[in-house]
C-alpha cells in the first residue's frame, strides 16, 4: 500500500501499482477456494484487493469493520468517510456490489483494536456459510492465527465452534493477504 511504499503515514492508503497487479493475479485462481462470501476490511487497500481478486466471481462482498487493521492511531488505518469510499468504489470492478458501506464505517462502541479483532472472531463463528474469505491485514491475521502472512499469502484455515483457528495451508502467490476460513464443522 502507499504507506508502505512511501514510508509516510498516508490516510486510508490505497494499493500501489504493484499491489494492484498482485491482487489481480488471484483473479484466475481465487474461485478454487470456494468462498461463499467475502468479508472485507473497510480500509481502501483491502477493498481494492477484494474487488480486483474477486472481480470474476459472483460471491457477495461485504464490508466488515471488525476486519480493519490494528494500530488505529496510524492514519493509514483510519477509514475514509462513506462518501469517499463510495466514490472510490465506482472505479473498481464490482465496486457497485460491495455491501454494508454505512454499517462498516459507522462509529463503533468497540473501544480498541484488540476487542475489534475478537469481535471479528465472533462474527466468523456466527456466520452460516461453510467457506468465508476475509480480506484484511497482517495484524488481524496474526492476531487470529498467530501466523506471519506476506502480502502475497492466502492462509487456508479451519475454524472451530469456539473460534480457534488452525492453519491448514499457506498459499504464496503474487498477491495479497487473505485469510480464508474453511468451517469444517458447518
Residue 79: DSSP 8-state: P
Structural domain that includes position 25 = 2-182
Residue 13: DSSP 8-state: P
> Average of pLDDT values for 100-110?
87
What cell does 170 get?
A: 499457506
Q: What is the CA radius of gyration of the chain?
A: 15
Instruction: Compute the distance between CA of residue 67 and CA of residue 180 in angstroms, rounded to an integer.
Output: 13
Reported pTM: 0.88
Number of domains composing the chain: 1
- pLDDT digit string, tens, across residues 114-139: 999 999 999 999 999 999 999 999 99
Number of helices and strands in the chain (H, E): 7, 7
CATH of the domain at 72: 3.40.50
- pLDDT digit string, tens, across residues 11-40: 999 999 888 988 999 999 999 999 999 999
- pLDDT digit string, tens, across residues 145-186: 999 998 868 999 999 999 999 999 998 765 444 444 444 433
Mean pLDDT score of the chain:
88
Amino acid at each position: 500500500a502507499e504507506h508502505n511504499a512511501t514510508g509516510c503515514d498516508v490516510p486510508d492508503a490505497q494499493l500501489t501499482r504493484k499491489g494492484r497487479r498482485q491482487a489481480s493475479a488471484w483473479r484466475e485462481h481465487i474461485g478454487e477456494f470456494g468462498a461463499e462470501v467475502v468479508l472485507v476490511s473497510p480500509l481502501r487497500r483491502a477493498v481494492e484487493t477484494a474487488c480486483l481478486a474477486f472481480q470474476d466471481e459472483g460471491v457477495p462482498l461485504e464490508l466488515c469493520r471488525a476486519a480493519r487493521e490494528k494500530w488505529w492511531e496510524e492514519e493509514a488505518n483510519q477509514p475514509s468517510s462513506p462518501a469517499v469510499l463510495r466514490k472510490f468504489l465506482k472505479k473498481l470492478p464490482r465496486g457497485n456490489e460491495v455491501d454494508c458501506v454505512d454499517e462498516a464505517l459507522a462509529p463503533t462502541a468497540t473501544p480498541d483494536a484488540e476487542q475489534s479483532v475478537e469481535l471479528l472472531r465472533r462474527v466468523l463463528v456466527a456466520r452460516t456459510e461453510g467457506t468465508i474469505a476475509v480480506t484484511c491485514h497482517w495484524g488481524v491475521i496474526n492476531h487470529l492465527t498467530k501466523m506471519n502472512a506476506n502480502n502475497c499469502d492466502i492462509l487456508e484455515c479451519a475454524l472451530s465452534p469456539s473460534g480457534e483457528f488452525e492453519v491448514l495451508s499457506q498459499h504464496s502467490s503474487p498477491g495479497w493477504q487473505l485469510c480464508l476460513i474453511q468451517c469444517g464443522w458447518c
